[in-house]
Amino acid sequence: MLCAAPADTKSSVRKSNDSYTEGLRLESQGRARQAIEAYSAAIRLSPGNADALRHRARLYFDFEEFQRALEDCNAALRVDNNDAEAVKLRGDVQRKLKHNAEAVRDWQRALALRLDTAVIHNDLAAAYADAGELQNAAEEYSRGIRLRLSDPEPYRQRGKVYLRMDRYRDAIDDFTYFLDLKPGDVDALLDRGYAYSFLGDIQRGREDFNKVLQADPDNRKAYALRGRFEALESNLQKALDDYNHAVGPGQTDPFVYLERAEVYALLGKPQEALHDRETAVGMKPDLPEAYIARGGSYHMLGMHEKGLADRTEAIRLNPKLADAWYARGSAYYLMGEFQKAADDLRETLRLNPSYPKVNEVLAQAEAKMREHQAAKAAAAPPPPSSPEPTPASQPAPAQPVAAEPVAPAEPPAPATATPPPKPVLSPVTAPAREPAKSMSAEEHHKKGRELLEAKEYRAAVDELTKAIAMKPDYALAYNGRGYAYFLLRDYKHAIEDYNHAIDLNPKYVNAYRNRAGARRSAGDVAGAAADLERARQLEK
């Protein structure tokens, strides 16, 4: 629509329209810079020429001159506030300027002005996805798809959103439909492979990664993901072969090096494991998990002071990371410093009351402390029992020498103490049995945690399920059951339980960290990284 400001004369408006028409001709010929000059002439002659403003804004947008494009959109909307095309274009500019909220408002207003296009719905969906509003994103992609069923890209993008929502079946359906429209697309095969891994369908996931490698033999991501599958199935040499293809120039994910290091350690190659962990530290010096892993290598090689220093650095980087406190507590135990070990293990429990095995290790550290105290007490000379002098002919008793504490050869894997036998009551003295009391949700939760520490994971799932049935908003129980599923390598159900825990408590740092571990094990490196980043933000 051509509009003239009140001050414009009929002559200037006519000349402005001529320049605008010339701009359209130049633009149709691909002569964009000359078209901008023509539109500028039209605007100088008639500042109210909204069409010229909008077309120049579009060209500025194409040349990535976003601030100029924004100014032209605003000027066009001052002429006609209901110009839907200008509103939509301003939304596009705001998105490029990373003003997501403003972009969303403009696109919603363009829809309200009845500019109902698939492009706007898909743009809205992308903005919602970036903001973490996944349900809104999925709905907008669905609206865009209904308006243009033949466009494959929204299916792929909605599939990515479904992945983040843990709707893996839906994600697979979308990636499969996309692949029907664009057969052999490498990125879609990788995405579908992720989704299969979440469902525990390693075979289909591996098939997708194999297809990727057939099409792109140098795809590092596919090698890394397939290597993780091989490691999960204890095919260590195959896993190592895949990781060897995944690392090298261009690999920027430190977790790939950490995962290969773990395979090296399992194959009895500690020097190679240390080298990879050092590489991970160099790639991301602020990653506490890398220091924890490298510290483990140092301890395996007998360099305990270096191992302790790495665990301390991990704590400095993230004082709220339970893994770091447990790792340093293990280092102190290894070095025979049982009081310091106990202090760190108690901090681990404070940060994560459900941390596996920590109670067992803490009990052993405390037992070692009691042994030393008893040895010191035995070594001290007894107080004199009487004031009478000892006969000169009687030699003074030799004092026992306290045994030096011996550090365990490995980080604590405490031996299970044999419990004392329970007293057997005779039929005469046994009290009458009271009726059994029903357990509370908290008691089922506590029992489930004990079963976790005893490595009775299936039984732990049963107990924690009872706790959840009695108390459906019990975030701790969901997190605990998720960990039990994780230890059973049932990553799908583990992630579902962590999702429930986070829904109930969006600031549950440990649930985010646990879900990161499950996602990484299932092949979702991006999801794992996002969870770790969210955990770090909450810990600040």
Return d(Cα 448, Cα 462) in angstroms, integer.
8
46-65 tens-digit pLDDT:
999 999 999 999 999 999 99
Mean pLDDT of 406-416: 34
Burial of 165 (C-beta count, 10 Å sphere; 0-12/13-18/19+): middle
- Mind listing the domains of the chain with CATH numbers? 448-539 (1.25.40.10)
Structure tokens at 75: 């000027």
Q: Which residues contact 245 (CB under 8 A, 6 or more apart)?
A: 220, 223
Write out pLDDT tens, residues 262-307: 999 989 999 999 999 999 999 999 999 999 999 999 998 989 999 9
Q: Are 206 and 226 a contacting pair, CB within 8 Å?
A: yes
pLDDT score at 334: 86
b (16+ CB within 10 A) / e for 507-517: ebbbbbbbbbb
What the block records as the tokens of 530 is 């996002």
Q: Give the ranges where 267-321 is alpha helix by DSSP (H).
A: 270-283, 288-300, 304-317
Q: Which of 252, 256, 232, 233 is nearest to 244 (CA)?
A: 256
pLDDT tens digit sequence for 180-216: 999 999 999 999 998 888 887 888 999 999 999 999 9
Contact between residue 512 and residue 531 where contact means Cβ atoms under 8 Å apart: yes
pTM over the 0.95 mark: no
Would you state the pLDDT for residue 433?
37
pLDDT band at residue 412 under the 50/70/90 scheme: very low
| For residues 64-70, average pLDDT | 97
Q: What is the tens place of the pLDDT at every residue in 430-467?
A: 333 333 457 888 889 989 888 988 888 888 999 999 98
**Summary count for the chain: helices (H), strands (E):** 27, 0
516 close to 504: Cβ distance less than 8 angstroms? no
Report residue 195 as tokens: 């989704």
Q: CB–CB of 128/139 below 8 Å?
A: no
As a whole number of angstroms, the longest Cα–Cα distance in the chain is 135
